[in-house]
Amino acid sequence: MIRRKEIKNYLTPDAISQDIKFIADAMLGRLARWLRFLGFDTLYYSGISDSRLIRIAKEQDRFILTRDTRLIRIKGLKDYLLIKANDSFHQLLEVIDALKLKHFDLLSRCVKCNGRLSRIFDKGEIKDSVPEYVFLHCNIFLKCTDCGRIYWEGSHPKKFREKLGDILKFSNDT
Ligand SMILES: [Zn+2]
């Protein structure tokens, strides 16, 4: 469990809503994908400098997720969580627990680029973009409004889908 005092300067747990936006440091690429999978607006750039990360967080009112103990010593830094777990799934559970996240919006955000997904109503539109089997057997398709990637039920890696039940159980327990 994460003690509340480890979430620095955040207003109150009640103030944290689904609208929270994140920026993850360069060590947390997989965590960023998990958060997007759950519908959270999460920026991630591999190789981002500390100063740029902090600047973007301030400008866009984003909550910083970091594994860098050096970064959190920077004077005046606020709204951050120091992530302790090594593997991405437990990192995700840390974030959910610390910020008391309960509302997830699956299939709303592109795991790859953080863009918004929009529903495709005319299946014919994506006929050439997905495997034939998928085209024939799936009826719900979504497209990233930024990078154009197509999603369908089951298109996320198997690991994501298997772990999903664990996440929902976890959020109900807390
Ligand atoms: Zn995308």
- What confidence score (pLDDT) does residue 112 get? 95
pTM score of the predicted model: 0.82
Percent of the chain whose predicted confidence (pLDDT) is above 70: 83
* CA neighbor of 35 nearest in space, from 98, 84, 91: 91
In sequence order, the 6+-apart residues with CB closer than 8 A to the CB of 42 are 21, 22, 23, 24, 32, 35, 36, 114
How remote is the CA of residue 2 from the centroid of ligand 1, in Å? Answer: 32
How remote is the CA of residue 143 from the centroid of ligand 1, in Å? Answer: 8
Reported as a single tens digit per residue, the pLDDT across 24-46 is 999 999 999 999 999 999 999 99
How remote is the CA of residue 115 from the centroid of ligand 1, in Å? Answer: 5
pLDDT exceeds cutoff 70 at 15: no
Please, are residues 147 and 115 in contact by the beta-carbon 8 Å criterion? yes
Reported as a single tens digit per residue, the pLDDT across 146-159 is 999 999 877 776 67
